Structure 1
Amino acid sequence: MEPVSDPIDRTSARGLGGELVLRLTELIQDGTIRKGEKLPTESSLMESYQVSRTVVREAISQLRASGLVETQQGRGSFVLTAPSHGQFALDANEIRTVDDVWDMLDFRLGIESEAAALAAGRRTDQQLAELRRLQQRFEDCESRPSDAVEADFALHLGVANAARNRHYSALLKSVGPMMIVMPKFRLLTGGDANREDNVRLAALEHDAIVSAIARQEPETARAAIRLHLANSRARMMG
Protein backbone atom coordinates (compact mmCIF):
# COMPACT_ATOMS: atom_id res chain seq x y z
CA MET A 1 0.00 0.00 0.00
CA GLU A 2 1.57 3.28 -1.12
CA PRO A 3 1.19 6.28 1.22
CA VAL A 4 -0.64 9.45 0.29
CA SER A 5 2.22 11.85 -0.26
CA ASP A 6 1.04 15.04 1.41
CA PRO A 7 4.07 17.26 2.08
CA ILE A 8 5.57 17.04 5.53
CA ASP A 9 5.58 20.23 7.59
CA ARG A 10 9.29 20.97 7.89
CA THR A 11 8.71 23.71 10.48
CA SER A 12 6.86 21.46 12.94
CA ALA A 13 8.21 21.20 16.48
CA ARG A 14 7.90 17.45 16.11
CA GLY A 15 10.75 17.35 13.62
CA LEU A 16 10.76 15.37 10.38
CA GLY A 17 10.85 12.01 12.16
CA GLY A 18 7.94 12.95 14.38
CA GLU A 19 5.91 14.18 11.45
CA LEU A 20 6.53 10.96 9.53
CA VAL A 21 5.50 8.92 12.59
CA LEU A 22 2.28 10.93 12.73
CA ARG A 23 1.57 10.38 9.02
CA LEU A 24 2.18 6.64 9.16
CA THR A 25 0.18 6.29 12.38
CA GLU A 26 -2.76 8.02 10.70
CA LEU A 27 -2.53 5.65 7.71
CA ILE A 28 -2.61 2.67 10.08
CA GLN A 29 -5.37 4.19 12.19
CA ASP A 30 -7.71 4.91 9.29
CA GLY A 31 -7.14 1.52 7.68
CA THR A 32 -5.21 2.72 4.65
CA ILE A 33 -2.50 0.31 5.77
CA ARG A 34 -4.24 -2.58 7.54
CA LYS A 35 -3.10 -5.07 10.14
CA GLY A 36 -0.75 -7.60 8.56
CA GLU A 37 0.09 -5.39 5.61
CA LYS A 38 3.61 -4.30 4.81
CA LEU A 39 4.69 -0.70 5.18
CA PRO A 40 6.01 0.98 2.03
CA THR A 41 9.73 0.46 1.45
CA GLU A 42 12.27 2.92 2.79
CA SER A 43 12.92 4.18 -0.73
CA SER A 44 9.20 4.71 -1.34
CA LEU A 45 8.77 6.65 1.91
CA MET A 46 11.84 8.75 1.14
CA GLU A 47 10.43 9.66 -2.26
CA SER A 48 6.84 10.18 -1.13
CA TYR A 49 7.66 12.43 1.82
CA GLN A 50 10.97 13.90 0.59
CA VAL A 51 12.93 12.85 3.67
CA SER A 52 16.23 11.07 4.23
CA ARG A 53 16.74 7.39 4.95
CA THR A 54 17.77 8.32 8.50
CA VAL A 55 14.41 10.05 9.09
CA VAL A 56 12.53 7.02 7.71
CA ARG A 57 14.44 4.62 9.95
CA GLU A 58 13.90 6.83 12.99
CA ALA A 59 10.15 6.87 12.33
CA ILE A 60 9.93 3.10 11.84
CA SER A 61 11.96 2.59 15.03
CA GLN A 62 9.41 4.64 16.98
CA LEU A 63 6.48 2.77 15.41
CA ARG A 64 8.15 -0.51 16.31
CA ALA A 65 8.77 0.58 19.91
CA SER A 66 5.13 1.65 20.19
CA GLY A 67 4.02 -1.83 19.17
CA LEU A 68 2.40 -0.72 15.91
CA VAL A 69 4.76 -2.54 13.55
CA GLU A 70 7.32 -5.32 13.56
CA THR A 71 10.34 -5.54 11.29
CA GLN A 72 11.22 -8.90 9.76
CA GLN A 73 14.78 -9.33 8.58
CA GLY A 74 14.95 -9.16 4.81
CA ARG A 75 11.19 -8.67 4.41
CA GLY A 76 10.37 -5.23 5.77
CA SER A 77 8.02 -3.83 8.42
CA PHE A 78 4.46 -5.07 8.93
CA VAL A 79 1.52 -3.55 10.81
CA LEU A 80 0.69 -5.36 14.05
CA THR A 81 -2.30 -3.39 15.29
CA ALA A 82 -4.14 -0.12 14.80
CA PRO A 83 -3.90 2.45 17.62
CA SER A 84 -7.06 3.46 19.40
CA HIS A 85 -8.22 7.01 18.73
CA GLY A 86 -8.81 7.54 22.44
CA GLN A 87 -5.73 5.90 23.88
CA PHE A 88 -3.49 7.73 26.33
CA ALA A 89 -0.27 8.95 24.73
CA LEU A 90 2.72 11.07 25.58
CA ASP A 91 4.38 12.85 22.67
CA ALA A 92 8.02 11.77 22.67
CA ASN A 93 8.79 14.29 19.96
CA GLU A 94 8.17 17.12 22.42
CA ILE A 95 11.24 16.04 24.43
CA ARG A 96 13.54 18.56 22.76
CA THR A 97 15.26 20.60 25.47
CA VAL A 98 17.15 19.88 28.68
CA ASP A 99 14.15 21.11 30.70
CA ASP A 100 11.96 18.60 28.85
CA VAL A 101 14.42 15.88 29.80
CA TRP A 102 14.35 16.84 33.48
CA ASP A 103 10.55 16.77 33.45
CA MET A 104 10.57 13.32 31.85
CA LEU A 105 13.07 11.99 34.39
CA ASP A 106 10.91 13.27 37.26
CA PHE A 107 7.91 11.55 35.69
CA ARG A 108 9.84 8.33 35.20
CA LEU A 109 11.08 8.28 38.80
CA GLY A 110 7.57 7.83 40.08
CA ILE A 111 6.27 5.51 37.37
CA GLU A 112 9.23 3.21 36.85
CA SER A 113 10.21 2.86 40.51
CA GLU A 114 6.75 1.53 41.33
CA ALA A 115 6.80 -0.73 38.28
CA ALA A 116 10.13 -2.19 39.41
CA ALA A 117 8.82 -2.79 42.92
CA LEU A 118 5.74 -4.55 41.56
CA ALA A 119 7.90 -6.59 39.18
CA ALA A 120 9.96 -7.84 42.10
CA GLY A 121 6.84 -9.13 43.79
CA ARG A 122 4.98 -10.42 40.75
CA ARG A 123 7.47 -11.52 38.10
CA THR A 124 7.31 -15.05 36.76
CA ASP A 125 10.33 -17.22 36.03
CA GLN A 126 9.69 -16.68 32.33
CA GLN A 127 9.65 -12.91 32.76
CA LEU A 128 12.88 -13.05 34.76
CA ALA A 129 14.51 -15.05 31.98
CA GLU A 130 13.36 -12.41 29.49
CA LEU A 131 14.83 -9.64 31.66
CA ARG A 132 18.15 -11.51 31.74
CA ARG A 133 18.06 -11.77 27.94
CA LEU A 134 17.31 -8.07 27.56
CA GLN A 135 20.03 -7.23 30.06
CA GLN A 136 22.56 -9.17 27.98
CA ARG A 137 21.31 -7.49 24.80
CA PHE A 138 22.10 -4.10 26.31
CA GLU A 139 25.52 -5.22 27.57
CA ASP A 140 26.37 -6.37 24.05
CA CYS A 141 25.93 -2.77 22.92
CA GLU A 142 29.10 -1.64 24.68
CA SER A 143 31.06 -2.05 21.45
CA ARG A 144 28.25 -0.55 19.33
CA PRO A 145 26.57 2.21 21.39
CA SER A 146 24.39 3.29 18.48
CA ASP A 147 22.25 0.18 19.12
CA ALA A 148 21.84 0.99 22.81
CA VAL A 149 18.73 3.19 22.51
CA GLU A 150 16.33 0.42 21.56
CA ALA A 151 18.09 -2.12 23.81
CA ASP A 152 17.78 0.23 26.80
CA PHE A 153 14.11 0.88 26.11
CA ALA A 154 13.44 -2.84 25.68
CA LEU A 155 14.84 -3.58 29.14
CA HIS A 156 12.82 -0.84 30.81
CA LEU A 157 9.71 -2.09 29.02
CA GLY A 158 10.55 -5.61 30.19
CA VAL A 159 10.51 -4.39 33.80
CA ALA A 160 7.13 -2.75 33.19
CA ASN A 161 5.79 -5.97 31.67
CA ALA A 162 7.00 -7.95 34.68
CA ALA A 163 4.92 -5.65 36.92
CA ARG A 164 1.93 -7.44 35.34
CA ASN A 165 -0.12 -4.27 35.09
CA ARG A 166 -0.90 -3.28 31.52
CA HIS A 167 -1.01 0.43 32.31
CA TYR A 168 2.71 0.58 33.08
CA SER A 169 3.52 -1.08 29.76
CA ALA A 170 1.09 1.18 27.90
CA LEU A 171 2.70 4.30 29.34
CA LEU A 172 6.18 3.31 28.23
CA LYS A 173 5.00 2.18 24.80
CA SER A 174 3.29 5.52 24.24
CA VAL A 175 6.66 7.23 24.32
CA GLY A 176 8.89 4.57 22.79
CA PRO A 177 12.68 4.62 22.85
CA MET A 178 12.77 8.40 23.17
CA MET A 179 11.72 7.86 26.79
CA ILE A 180 15.28 6.68 27.35
CA VAL A 181 16.60 10.19 27.35
CA MET A 182 20.21 9.40 28.25
CA PRO A 183 21.12 8.19 24.75
CA LYS A 184 19.64 11.29 23.14
CA PHE A 185 21.60 13.72 25.27
CA ARG A 186 24.68 11.82 26.48
CA LEU A 187 24.98 8.21 25.35
CA LEU A 188 25.38 9.05 21.67
CA THR A 189 27.44 12.20 22.16
CA GLY A 190 31.15 12.65 22.64
CA GLY A 191 33.87 10.25 21.60
CA ASP A 192 33.65 6.48 21.31
CA ALA A 193 35.25 5.97 24.73
CA ASN A 194 32.68 8.24 26.40
CA ARG A 195 29.78 6.42 24.74
CA GLU A 196 31.15 3.02 25.72
CA ASP A 197 31.68 4.18 29.31
CA ASN A 198 28.06 5.34 29.52
CA VAL A 199 26.81 1.99 28.24
CA ARG A 200 29.05 0.16 30.71
CA LEU A 201 27.82 2.23 33.67
CA ALA A 202 24.18 1.85 32.67
CA ALA A 203 24.70 -1.91 32.30
CA LEU A 204 25.93 -2.13 35.90
CA GLU A 205 22.86 -0.24 37.08
CA HIS A 206 20.60 -2.50 35.03
CA ASP A 207 22.22 -5.49 36.72
CA ALA A 208 21.32 -4.09 40.14
CA ILE A 209 17.70 -3.62 39.04
CA VAL A 210 17.32 -7.08 37.52
CA SER A 211 19.12 -8.75 40.44
CA ALA A 212 16.72 -7.15 42.93
CA ILE A 213 13.77 -8.34 40.84
CA ALA A 214 15.31 -11.82 40.70
CA ARG A 215 15.63 -11.88 44.51
CA GLN A 216 12.04 -10.60 44.78
CA GLU A 217 13.03 -7.58 46.86
CA PRO A 218 10.59 -4.77 45.99
CA GLU A 219 12.23 -2.00 48.01
CA THR A 220 15.68 -2.83 46.65
CA ALA A 221 14.33 -2.85 43.09
CA ARG A 222 12.63 0.49 43.66
CA ALA A 223 15.84 2.01 45.03
CA ALA A 224 17.96 0.53 42.23
CA ILE A 225 15.91 2.06 39.43
CA ARG A 226 15.71 5.41 41.21
CA LEU A 227 19.50 5.40 41.48
CA HIS A 228 19.79 4.48 37.79
CA LEU A 229 17.61 7.42 36.75
CA ALA A 230 19.45 9.79 39.09
CA ASN A 231 22.77 8.67 37.61
CA SER A 232 21.36 9.14 34.11
CA ARG A 233 20.64 12.73 35.03
CA ALA A 234 24.17 13.18 36.39
CA ARG A 235 25.67 11.76 33.20
CA MET A 236 23.66 14.19 31.11
CA MET A 237 24.99 17.07 33.19
CA GLY A 238 28.51 15.86 32.38
Structure 2
Amino acid sequence: MMGVEQSLRALLLDGAQDGTFGPGAKLPTERALVERLAAPRSAIRRALSALERDGIIERQVGRGTFLTDVAIDIAGAPADSSPAEIMQARLLVEPQVAALSASMATQADLEGIGDCLAAGGASDDFASFESWDAKLHRSIAKAAHNGLLLTMYDVLNTARSLPVWGSLKSRTSTPERRRRYHAEHVEIVRALRDRDADGAGQAMRVHLQNVSENLLGRP
Protein backbone atom coordinates (compact mmCIF):
# COMPACT_ATOMS: atom_id res chain seq x y z
CA MET A 1 0.00 0.00 0.00
CA MET A 2 1.41 3.41 -0.98
CA GLY A 3 1.96 6.11 1.58
CA VAL A 4 0.40 9.55 1.25
CA GLU A 5 3.51 11.11 -0.32
CA GLN A 6 3.81 8.32 -2.88
CA SER A 7 0.09 8.51 -3.67
CA LEU A 8 0.29 12.27 -4.20
CA ARG A 9 3.39 11.93 -6.38
CA ALA A 10 1.64 9.30 -8.47
CA LEU A 11 -1.46 11.50 -8.81
CA LEU A 12 0.50 14.52 -10.01
CA LEU A 13 2.95 12.68 -12.26
CA ASP A 14 0.17 10.63 -13.84
CA GLY A 15 -1.68 13.90 -14.46
CA ALA A 16 1.43 15.43 -16.02
CA GLN A 17 1.81 12.38 -18.24
CA ASP A 18 -1.78 12.22 -19.47
CA GLY A 19 -2.14 15.98 -19.87
CA THR A 20 -4.49 16.59 -16.93
CA PHE A 21 -1.82 18.78 -15.36
CA GLY A 22 0.36 20.89 -17.63
CA PRO A 23 3.36 23.06 -16.71
CA GLY A 24 2.23 25.68 -14.23
CA ALA A 25 -1.08 23.95 -13.53
CA LYS A 26 -2.65 24.84 -10.20
CA LEU A 27 -3.07 21.91 -7.83
CA PRO A 28 -6.28 21.10 -5.97
CA THR A 29 -6.60 22.66 -2.53
CA GLU A 30 -5.39 20.85 0.57
CA ARG A 31 -9.03 20.14 1.47
CA ALA A 32 -9.65 18.58 -1.96
CA LEU A 33 -6.51 16.46 -1.65
CA VAL A 34 -7.58 15.30 1.81
CA GLU A 35 -10.84 14.06 0.32
CA ARG A 36 -9.31 12.60 -2.82
CA LEU A 37 -6.53 10.69 -1.05
CA ALA A 38 -8.51 9.94 2.14
CA ALA A 39 -5.61 11.21 4.23
CA PRO A 40 -5.31 13.61 7.18
CA ARG A 41 -4.39 17.21 6.36
CA SER A 42 -1.14 16.92 8.33
CA ALA A 43 -0.02 14.06 6.07
CA ILE A 44 -0.98 16.01 2.95
CA ARG A 45 1.06 18.99 4.16
CA ARG A 46 4.11 16.79 4.81
CA ALA A 47 3.75 15.27 1.35
CA LEU A 48 3.49 18.71 -0.27
CA SER A 49 6.62 19.83 1.57
CA ALA A 50 8.51 16.81 0.22
CA LEU A 51 7.32 17.53 -3.32
CA GLU A 52 8.36 21.16 -2.98
CA ARG A 53 11.78 20.02 -1.74
CA ASP A 54 12.22 17.91 -4.87
CA GLY A 55 11.20 20.76 -7.16
CA ILE A 56 8.00 19.07 -8.39
CA ILE A 57 5.69 21.78 -7.07
CA GLU A 58 6.00 25.44 -6.19
CA ARG A 59 3.92 27.05 -3.46
CA GLN A 60 3.12 30.75 -3.83
CA VAL A 61 1.70 32.60 -0.84
CA GLY A 62 -1.79 33.87 -1.56
CA ARG A 63 -2.01 32.19 -4.95
CA GLY A 64 -1.81 28.44 -4.40
CA THR A 65 0.37 25.47 -5.33
CA PHE A 66 1.56 24.89 -8.89
CA LEU A 67 3.17 22.08 -10.86
CA THR A 68 6.67 22.87 -12.15
CA ASP A 69 8.41 22.02 -15.40
CA VAL A 70 10.43 19.46 -13.42
CA ALA A 71 7.29 17.37 -12.96
CA ILE A 72 6.69 17.36 -16.71
CA ASP A 73 10.26 16.24 -17.37
CA ILE A 74 9.95 13.51 -14.76
CA ALA A 75 6.67 12.30 -16.21
CA GLY A 76 8.45 11.51 -19.44
CA ALA A 77 11.08 9.37 -17.72
CA PRO A 78 10.82 5.55 -17.72
CA ALA A 79 8.68 4.42 -14.78
CA ASP A 80 10.17 0.92 -14.63
CA SER A 81 13.82 1.83 -14.06
CA SER A 82 15.42 -0.57 -11.61
CA PRO A 83 17.54 0.55 -8.65
CA ALA A 84 20.59 -0.89 -10.43
CA GLU A 85 19.90 1.20 -13.56
CA ILE A 86 19.35 4.30 -11.46
CA MET A 87 22.62 3.85 -9.58
CA GLN A 88 24.50 3.28 -12.84
CA ALA A 89 23.09 6.54 -14.20
CA ARG A 90 23.86 8.42 -10.99
CA LEU A 91 27.46 7.21 -11.11
CA LEU A 92 27.78 8.52 -14.66
CA VAL A 93 26.18 11.91 -13.98
CA GLU A 94 26.69 13.07 -10.39
CA PRO A 95 30.52 12.94 -10.15
CA GLN A 96 30.76 15.13 -13.26
CA VAL A 97 28.13 17.50 -11.88
CA ALA A 98 30.02 17.76 -8.58
CA ALA A 99 33.22 18.55 -10.46
CA LEU A 100 31.47 21.33 -12.38
CA SER A 101 29.90 22.66 -9.18
CA ALA A 102 33.36 23.00 -7.62
CA SER A 103 34.13 25.58 -10.30
CA MET A 104 30.74 27.22 -10.68
CA ALA A 105 29.29 27.39 -7.15
CA THR A 106 28.78 30.83 -5.64
CA GLN A 107 29.42 31.60 -2.00
CA ALA A 108 25.67 31.52 -1.42
CA ASP A 109 25.54 28.07 -3.03
CA LEU A 110 28.30 26.81 -0.75
CA GLU A 111 26.55 28.20 2.31
CA GLY A 112 23.32 26.44 1.34
CA ILE A 113 25.20 23.20 0.74
CA GLY A 114 26.85 23.58 4.13
CA ASP A 115 23.48 24.08 5.81
CA CYS A 116 22.19 20.83 4.27
CA LEU A 117 25.35 19.03 5.34
CA ALA A 118 25.01 20.22 8.94
CA ALA A 119 21.33 19.33 9.14
CA GLY A 120 21.99 15.86 7.73
CA GLY A 121 24.74 15.29 10.25
CA ALA A 122 22.38 16.25 13.06
CA SER A 123 19.62 13.90 11.87
CA ASP A 124 19.17 10.89 14.10
CA ASP A 125 16.50 8.96 12.18
CA PHE A 126 16.13 7.50 8.70
CA ALA A 127 13.41 9.84 7.38
CA SER A 128 15.16 13.03 8.45
CA PHE A 129 18.54 11.92 7.12
CA GLU A 130 17.00 10.90 3.79
CA SER A 131 15.30 14.27 3.46
CA TRP A 132 18.51 16.22 4.06
CA ASP A 133 20.49 13.80 1.91
CA ALA A 134 18.14 14.60 -0.99
CA LYS A 135 18.45 18.34 -0.35
CA LEU A 136 22.25 18.12 -0.18
CA HIS A 137 22.63 16.25 -3.45
CA ARG A 138 20.20 18.54 -5.26
CA SER A 139 21.87 21.68 -3.88
CA ILE A 140 25.19 20.40 -5.26
CA ALA A 141 23.58 19.76 -8.65
CA LYS A 142 21.95 23.21 -8.59
CA ALA A 143 25.32 24.83 -7.83
CA ALA A 144 26.59 23.77 -11.26
CA HIS A 145 24.29 26.46 -12.73
CA ASN A 146 23.44 24.31 -15.74
CA GLY A 147 19.71 23.95 -16.31
CA LEU A 148 20.02 20.88 -18.54
CA LEU A 149 22.16 19.01 -16.03
CA LEU A 150 19.76 19.95 -13.23
CA THR A 151 16.85 18.55 -15.24
CA MET A 152 18.80 15.32 -15.80
CA TYR A 153 19.51 15.15 -12.09
CA ASP A 154 15.83 15.69 -11.23
CA VAL A 155 14.83 12.84 -13.54
CA LEU A 156 17.32 10.55 -11.79
CA ASN A 157 16.11 11.76 -8.43
CA THR A 158 12.61 10.42 -9.11
CA ALA A 159 14.02 7.16 -7.75
CA ARG A 160 13.22 8.47 -4.30
CA SER A 161 9.51 8.39 -5.13
CA LEU A 162 9.51 4.75 -6.26
CA PRO A 163 8.19 2.35 -3.60
CA VAL A 164 10.90 -0.23 -4.37
CA TRP A 165 13.60 2.39 -3.80
CA GLY A 166 12.21 3.63 -0.49
CA SER A 167 11.78 0.08 0.76
CA LEU A 168 15.33 -0.84 -0.24
CA LYS A 169 16.81 2.24 1.41
CA SER A 170 14.90 1.76 4.67
CA ARG A 171 15.85 -1.93 4.87
CA THR A 172 19.54 -1.26 4.36
CA SER A 173 19.83 1.93 6.43
CA THR A 174 21.56 1.74 9.82
CA PRO A 175 22.93 4.46 12.13
CA GLU A 176 26.45 3.32 11.27
CA ARG A 177 25.84 3.62 7.54
CA ARG A 178 24.24 7.03 7.94
CA ARG A 179 27.33 8.19 9.84
CA ARG A 180 29.53 6.83 7.06
CA TYR A 181 27.45 8.59 4.41
CA HIS A 182 27.70 11.83 6.36
CA ALA A 183 31.48 11.48 6.54
CA GLU A 184 31.52 10.99 2.77
CA HIS A 185 29.31 14.05 2.34
CA VAL A 186 31.83 16.02 4.42
CA GLU A 187 34.60 15.05 1.97
CA ILE A 188 32.50 16.10 -1.02
CA VAL A 189 31.70 19.46 0.51
CA ARG A 190 35.30 20.03 1.56
CA ALA A 191 36.41 19.57 -2.05
CA LEU A 192 33.69 21.93 -3.26
CA ARG A 193 34.81 24.60 -0.81
CA ASP A 194 38.43 24.11 -1.92
CA ARG A 195 37.34 24.51 -5.57
CA ASP A 196 38.89 21.10 -6.19
CA ALA A 197 36.97 19.78 -9.19
CA ASP A 198 38.85 16.47 -9.42
CA GLY A 199 38.52 15.93 -5.68
CA ALA A 200 34.79 16.70 -5.67
CA GLY A 201 34.15 14.33 -8.56
CA GLN A 202 36.18 11.55 -6.98
CA ALA A 203 34.59 12.03 -3.54
CA MET A 204 31.11 11.86 -5.10
CA ARG A 205 32.06 8.73 -7.04
CA VAL A 206 33.36 6.99 -3.90
CA HIS A 207 30.19 7.94 -2.03
CA LEU A 208 27.84 6.64 -4.72
CA GLN A 209 29.84 3.43 -5.10
CA ASN A 210 29.41 2.80 -1.38
CA VAL A 211 25.68 3.56 -1.59
CA SER A 212 25.37 1.17 -4.52
CA GLU A 213 27.25 -1.57 -2.68
CA ASN A 214 25.07 -1.20 0.41
CA LEU A 215 21.83 -1.16 -1.62
CA LEU A 216 22.60 -3.74 -4.27
CA GLY A 217 25.53 -5.74 -2.93
CA ARG A 218 27.85 -4.39 -5.64
CA PRO A 219 29.48 -1.05 -6.49
Instruction: Give me the TM-score of the superposition, normalised by structure 2.
Output: 0.75
Which of 119, 141, 145 pairs up with 2:126? 145
Match of 1:109 in 2: 91
Which of 138, 141, 146 pairs up with 1:160? 141
Structural RMSD (CA)? 3.7
Cα contact 2:24–2:66 (8 A) shared by 1:
no
Instruction: Report the structure, 1 or 2, having the larger helix content.
Output: 2
Q: How far is 1:161 from its partner?
A: 1.3
Match of 1:44 in 2: 32
Cα contact 2:70–2:154 (8 A) shared by 1:
no
**Sequence identity of aligned pairs in percent?**
19
The AA in structure 1 aligned to 2:35 is: E
How far does the alpha carbon of each residue in 1:128-153 deviate from its partner, in whole angstroms, 9 at most, with x for none?
11111111121121x12212222111
Which of 65, 72, 78 pairs up with 1:79? 65
Cα contact 1:186–1:236 (8 A) shared by 2:
yes
Task: Say if 2:10 is the partner of 1:19.
Answer: yes
Unaligned stretches of 5+ residues in structure 1: 1-9
Larger RCO (CA under 8 A, 6+ residues apart): 2
Report the secondary structure of 1:164's partner residue. Answer: coil
* Counterpart Cα distance in 1 of 2:73 and 2:169: 31
Which range moved further: 203-212 or 159-168?
A: 159-168
* Counterpart Cα distance in 2 of 1:46 and 1:230: 40
* Counterpart Cα distance in 1 of 2:150 and 2:71: 18
Task: Say if 2:153 is the partner of 1:172.
Answer: yes
The AA in structure 2 aligned to 1:169 is: L
* Counterpart Cα distance in 1 of 2:208 and 2:64: 33
Q: How far is 1:57 from its partner?
A: 6.2
How far does the alpha carbon of each residue in 1:46-94 deviate from its partner, in whole angstroms, 9 at most, with x for none?
422446779856853235413423498xx9x942554389746564854
How far does the alpha carbon of each residue in 1:189-227 deviate from its partner, in whole angstroms, 9 at most, with x for none?
26xxx5322221111110111101111111111111011
Match of 2:212 in 1: 233
Structure possessing the higher radius of gyration over alpha carbons: 1
Compared with structure 1, are the counterparts of its residues 62 and 237 closer, same or farther at alpha carbon in structure 2 (3 Å cutoff)?
A: same
Which of 187, 192, 201 pairs up with 1:213? 192
Cα contact 1:16–1:51 (8 A) shared by 2:
no
* Counterpart Cα distance in 2 of 1:18 and 1:24: 10
Report the secondary structure of 1:69's partner residue. Answer: strand
How far does the alpha carbon of each residue in 1:166-191 deviate from its partner, in whole angstroms, 9 at most, with x for none?
1222222345463499972454226x
The AA in structure 1 aligned to 2:191 is: A
Match of 2:108 in 1: 126
* Counterpart Cα distance in 1 of 2:24 and 2:100: 37
Compared with structure 1, are the counterparts of its residues 19 and 84 closer, same or farther at alpha carbon in structure 2 (3 Å cutoff)?
A: closer
Q: May I ask how many residue pairs the two structures share in their alignment?
A: 209
Instruction: Give me the TM-score of the superposition, normalised by structure 1.
Output: 0.70
